[in-house]
């Protein structure tokens, strides 16, 4: 069980360590005969390079950290998958840090007491603000996701939330909806994302000549389907009339569907519903859910593009990449007839 080292292989093959290293790395200028002999020694001993030592010597870890609020939130688990696959494609391993949206943990992600663990960090902040991030930025290559924070010097990937919310609203308007609600403002804590989506929603209404009605902005107590359900149920109870809902995310939309169903309203006949994130949930609700679909694959690819440039040494000002989105139309708000 004693670990086999490079030098053991070298001795068995009767060559220098470096030659063995060259074989392991497929360095081109190794004579075929030698290469074979060395390979035989490697196989015979079952040699595996020690990654830690390699890292210390090269200064590269081949790992990146992905810091997200919750690994089991459908949007983030799907995003993680894309990031993981892109990482594999590019030869990185991923270590996952769950922040639980806790500002303390988020801060720890950046100001971590250790270094040399990863080559870079992809971070989807929720609570930290631009200033915080700018202050703590430890110099490790960093790419931010989402809309919560976008410090000037840091790279950043997001979709155009305003225009996506506008698309969603237009879609409902085109279906003939005139009393369109927005579900997802969290009392006393409007995040950047929500704000932008709300903006797009309002633009959509203006554009359609529909007056804004504050009563139609439904606030929820927290980011859960349950809270979305309660919010919509209460609105119904208050007697608020509406024929469409743009939801801040799919979870809220699921809550909304349930509340509407419970109150005997039919979706989409009485009320059309649009979700956000196009998580796989959307395909399995009844009715299935029309949802704003960020291009997750593109987000992953863009994040890595930026990150790898940083890793390669880019030190300039932050680049802000806008990734595409679409509206995935399903039963809860089908195309206008």
Partner DNA sequence: AAACATCTTTCCAGCGCTGTACATTGACGG
Partner DNA sequence: CCGTCAATGTACAGCGCTGGAAAGATGTTT
* Footprint on this chain of DNA (rule: CB under 7 A): 3, 5-7, 14-19, 21-22, 24-25, 28-31, 33-35, 47, 49-50, 53-54, 56-59, 116
- Residues numbered 242-281 forming contacts with its own copies, rule: CB under 8 A: 254-255, 257-258, 261, 280-281
Q: Which H or E run includes 160? A: none
Q: Chain centroid to CA 249: how far?
A: 13
Interaction pattern, residues 138-177, with its own copies; x per rule: CB under 8 A: xx--------------------------------------
Q: For its own copies, which is the closer residue by CB, 59 or 337?
A: 59
Interaction pattern, residues 63-102, with its own copies; x per rule: CB under 8 A: x------xxx-x--xx-xx--xx--x----xxxxxx----
- Residues numbered 1-20 forming contacts with its own copies, rule: CB under 8 A: 1, 3
In the complex, least distance from residue 18 CB atom to DNA, rounded to whole angstroms: 3
> Which does residue 313 bind out of DNA, its own copies, none, counting CB within 5 to 8 angstroms by kind?
none
In the complex, least distance from residue 261 CB atom to its own copies, rounded to whole angstroms: 6
What are the φ and ψ backbone dihedral angles of 276, each rounded to 5 degrees? -150, 130
> Which does residue 252 bind out of its own copies, DNA, none, counting CB within 5 to 8 angstroms by kind?
none
> Which does residue 5 bind out of its own copies, DNA, none, counting CB within 5 to 8 angstroms by kind?
DNA
In order of 13, 37, 48, 316, the CA distances from 44 in angstroms are 10, 11, 11, 49
Q: Which H or E run includes 87? A: helix 74-90
| 196's tokens | 């932008």
What are the φ and ψ backbone dihedral angles of 272, each rounded to 5 degrees? -95, 145
Rounded CA-CA distance 42/35 in Å is 10
Residue matched to tokens 């210390």: 56
- Is 256 within 8 Å of 287 (Cβ atoms)? no
In the complex, least distance from residue 337 CB atom to its own copies, rounded to whole angstroms: 22
Q: Is residue 117 near its own copies by the rule CB under 8 A?
A: yes
Rounded CA-CA distance 63/151 in Å is 24
Q: For DNA, which is the closer residue by CB, 49 or 318?
A: 49
Q: For DNA, which is the closer residue by CB, 58 or 139?
A: 58
Sequence-separated (6 or more) residues with CB below 8 Å from residue 102: 127
In the complex, least distance from residue 4 CB atom to its own copies, rounded to whole angstroms: 9
> Hey, how many other C-beta atoms are within 10 angstroms of the C-beta on 336?
12
> Which does residue 44 bind out of DNA, its own copies, none, counting CB within 5 to 8 angstroms by kind?
none
Rounded CA-CA distance 288/187 in Å is 28
In the complex, least distance from residue 227 CB atom to its own copies, rounded to whole angstroms: 12
Rounded CA-CA distance 4/19 in Å is 16
What are the φ and ψ backbone dihedral angles of 22, each rounded to 5 degrees? -60, -40
Contact with its own copies (CB under 8 A) among 286, 322, 324, 336: 286
> Which does residue 176 bind out of its own copies, DNA, none, counting CB within 5 to 8 angstroms by kind?
none
- Is 143 within 8 Å of 123 (Cβ atoms)? yes
What are the φ and ψ backbone dihedral angles of 240, each rounded to 5 degrees? -65, 130
Residues that bind its own copies (CB under 8 A): 1, 3, 48-53, 55-56, 61, 63, 70-72, 74, 77-78, 80-81, 84-85, 88, 93-98, 112-117, 138-139, 225, 254-255, 257-258, 261, 280-281, 283-286
């Amino acid at each position: 069980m004693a670990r086999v080292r490079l030098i053991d292989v070298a001795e068995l093959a009767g060559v220098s360590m470096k030659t063995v290293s060259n074989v392991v790395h497929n360095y081109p200028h190794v004579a075929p005969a030698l290469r074979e002999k060395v390979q035989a020694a490697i196989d015979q001993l079952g040699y595996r390079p020690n990654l830690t030592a390699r890292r210390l010597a090269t200064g590269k870890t081949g790992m990146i950290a992905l810091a997200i609020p919750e690994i089991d939130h459908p949007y983030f688990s799907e995003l993680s998958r894309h990031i993981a696959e892109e990482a594999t494609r590019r030869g990185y391993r991923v270590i996952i840090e769950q922040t639980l949206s806790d500002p303390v943990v988020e801060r720890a992600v950046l100001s971590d007491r250790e270094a040399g663990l990863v080559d870079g960090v992809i971070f989807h902040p929720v609570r930290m603000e631009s200033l915080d991030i700018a202050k703590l930025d430890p110099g490790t290559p960093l790419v931010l996701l989402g809309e919560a924070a976008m410090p000037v010097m840091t790279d950043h990937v997001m979709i155009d939330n305003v225009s996506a919310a506008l698309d969603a609203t237009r879609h409902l308007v085109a279906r003939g909806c005139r009393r369109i609600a927005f579900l997802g403002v969290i009392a006393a804590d409007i995040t950047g994302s929500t704000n932008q989506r709300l903006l797009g929603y309002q633009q959509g209404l203006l554009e359609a000549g529909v007056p804004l009605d504050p009563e139609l902005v439904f606030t929820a107590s927290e980011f859960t389907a349950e809270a979305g359900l309660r919010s919509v149920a209460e609105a119904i109870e208050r007697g608020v009339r509406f024929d469409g809902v743009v939801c801040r995310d799919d979870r809220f939309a699921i809550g909304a569907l349930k509340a509407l169903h419970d109150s005997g309203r039919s979706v989409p006949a009485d009320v059309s519903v649009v979700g956000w994130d196009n998580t796989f949930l959307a395909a399995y609700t009844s009715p299935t859910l029309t949802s704003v679909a960020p291009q997750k694959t593109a987000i992953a690819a863009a994040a890595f593009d930026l990150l790898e440039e940083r890793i390669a040494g880019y030190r300039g000002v932050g680049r802000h990449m806008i990734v595409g989105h679409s509206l995935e139309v399903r039963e809860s708000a089908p195309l206008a007839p």
